[in-house]
Structure 1
Amino acid sequence: MRALALFLLLAFCLPPLPLAQGAELLILESSRSAVYSEALRGFRSACRSSEETVVLSDFAEVDVQRLVKEERPRVVVAIGDRALAASRKVRELPVVAMLSLNLGRHAPDNIGGISMTVAPREYLNLFQSLGVKRVGLLYDPKKSGQYLKRAQQEARQEGVTLVAEPVHNPRDLQAKLERMKGEIDALWMLPDATVATTVNMEALLLFSMTQSVPVVTFASHYLKNGAAAALDLDPADIGVQAGELASSLLKGESHRVAVLDPRKTHLKSNESVLRKLRLRIP
């Protein structure tokens, strides 16, 4: 009896033991990359929450669903295509993705983030400054179909004609390019994983040289290979955007994860190519 009384006294007087809690964020990085690290720094500056980070390339296989059950995060952050693919099995939590070519606007409601495609209006403004009216665009309907619809609607408003050719298989690109000969004044390269293969990039830039048609692309590293202009993304700012989105989800401000356009770009050009084509960007 005295022992029971002592136990009850201690139980009511001692502070409760802290409960083990998982991190609020589960961050999945596809691999170790300087670009991913830059985006992650931006993310952390905008979203200061407890986190658990896993680099997928460090492991042969990662069961993300099991990780979610064990860590019990509130939001999953996916950086890169491999991380996004691994996160698609997660249904019960919001997933914020960035730096992934495969993030589409037709994703499930719980998957969103920052797209790799710049808003069509920015490209259309660039085409107008170059003085071109007929723009060729190659796209995979499954990956870029929604973006094309936005681009077509805005292009009509700006008086630009889009000559769009669907590419369902990377091997189909050469035949599609043949159809564009003599029909376009510029070629618009999207960050479409079906179109933007190494072999296809060479074909696109060769088409540009032989047909005297400028290529406007999504990454400045293609400038040295012959592209005329690029709208480069800012990985750090993409990270900040993703961090702001994750913060709003943690606050319960939204249950659906939006897919947002990147808000910051850098226009870069190849002056040598522009001079050869007698073009100028004001």
Structure 2
Amino acid sequence: MRSLYLCILLLSLVLPEAAPATELLILQSSRSLVYAEALRGFRAAARSSEQPLVLSDYAEVDVQRLVREVRPRMVIAVGDKALTACRKIREVPVVSMLSLSLSQKPQSDHVGGVTMVAAPGRYLELFAQLGAKRIGVLYDPKVSGLYLKRAAAEADDHDVSLTTEPVRHSRDLQGKLEKLKGEVDLLWLLPDSTVVTTVNMEALLLFSMTQGIPAVTFTGQYLKNGAAASLDIDPYDIGVQTGELALSLLRSGPDQKVPVLDPRRVRLQVNDSVLRKLRLRTP
């Protein structure tokens, strides 16, 4: 991997001192097809001068120093690693996309962007369509507490109730599942790194099947394992939405609060065989 110093040297070659500051410094956590698709959408919406950098290509990157050298008007953080690296930036706004932590932790006024989880209300609407009223949720308060607080505030509007069980260590999951037996009509699986591990996913979906209740997840990849439905994000549209937000902020000036937005487009996927087995109507 290249060092930070080589990185800054390379940037100095493409950004002479006499040149005006670039509008966007794009920090990408790593090289992945999902990030590439989101950036394709971003660039379609925000046609601005940019300097991209993939953090995984370097042994270390001092992002604060990089911002001083490149002098961008805004930093675009793609993924959790990039957003974490931007936490100490104060000089310019930071707009993030495809970062789970964006919806899991409170952000300062100059940090925001588009989250990568469907808004709680979208899930609550789906639960109502499935005819489920008692929703079981296992979560780590440090990871999903902020998101679940939003869901609890909206639950009554959708005529559903949430039965929540905090899981502070992944090994505690089985005991928490026991508490949900006979108490819930549906199991809601959040993108919670403490709860959703490879081993725990087997236990969660087995619980769903043995209890005869649907499991609703955040990604369609679990449908083949027995989940009933999922609300998937659209990386390209998240990129477009983030680009539109960035462009609006650039036009508004440097002192604007950067909002945290939910993805505006999500895709419902269902496992028809599971829905039929549970005698649930297709939403």
Pair 1:111 & 2:111 matched: yes
**How many Å separate the matches in 2 of 1:53 and 1:175?**
46
Name segments (4+ residues, structure 1) moved above 3 Å.
none
**How many Å separate the matches in 2 of 1:119 and 1:224?**
24
**How many Å separate the matches in 2 of 1:226 and 1:166?**
24
Query: How far apart are 1:198 and its partner, in Å?
Result: 2.3
Structure 1, unpaired ranges of 5+: 1-16
**How many Å separate the matches in 2 of 1:161 and 1:237?**
31
- Match of 2:124, SS state, is helix
Check the 8 A contact 1:124/1:155 in 2, yes or no.
Answer: yes
Pair 1:276 & 2:274 matched: no
Once the two structures are superposed, what CA deviation does each residue of 1:20-74 show, in whole Å capped at 9, x if it has no partner? 2232111111111111111001111111111111111111211111111110111
Once the two structures are superposed, what CA deviation does each residue of 1:129-161 show, in whole Å capped at 9, x if it has no partner? 111110011222223222222211211122201
Task: Give the length in aligned residue pairs.
Answer: 266
**How many Å separate the matches in 1 of 2:268 and 2:187?**
16
- Match of 1:148, SS state, is helix
TM-score, structure 1 length as denominator? 0.89
Query: 1:267 corresponds to which residue?
Result: 268
**How many Å separate the matches in 1 of 2:146 and 2:117?**
11
Query: 1:95 corresponds to which residue?
Result: 94
- Match of 1:52, SS state, is strand
Query: 1:159 corresponds to which residue?
Result: 159
**How many Å separate the matches in 1 of 2:241 and 2:19?**
30
Identity of aligned residues (%): 65
Matches within 5 A, 1:2-81: 19-81=18-80
Query: How far apart are 1:232 and its partner, in Å?
Result: 0.9
Structure 2, unpaired ranges of 5+: 1-15
Pair 1:169 & 2:145 matched: no
- 2:161 partner amino acid: T
| 239-248 or 134-143, which deviates more | 134-143
**How many Å separate the matches in 2 of 1:74 and 1:174?**
48
- 2:119 partner amino acid: A
Check the 8 A contact 2:24/2:50 in 1, yes or no.
Answer: yes
Check the 8 A contact 1:87/1:95 in 2, yes or no.
Answer: yes
Q: For the aligned residues, what is the CA RMSD?
A: 1.7
**How many Å separate the matches in 2 of 1:202 and 1:57?**
31
| 110-119 or 249-258, which deviates more | 249-258
**How many Å separate the matches in 2 of 1:257 and 1:143?**
22
- Match of 2:101, SS state, is coil
Query: How far apart are 1:202 and its partner, in Å?
Result: 2.1
Structure with higher Rg: it is 1
Query: 2:210 corresponds to which residue?
Result: 210
**How many Å separate the matches in 1 of 2:75 and 2:169?**
31
Once the two structures are superposed, what CA deviation does each residue of 1:215-247 show, in whole Å capped at 9, x if it has no partner? 101111111111100111111110011111111
**How many Å separate the matches in 2 of 1:174 and 1:81?**
28
Query: 1:230 corresponds to which residue?
Result: 230
**How many Å separate the matches in 2 of 1:281 and 1:54?**
44
Query: How far apart are 1:199 and its partner, in Å?
Result: 2.5
Query: How far apart are 1:18 and its partner, in Å?
Result: 9.1
TM-score, structure 2 length as denominator? 0.89
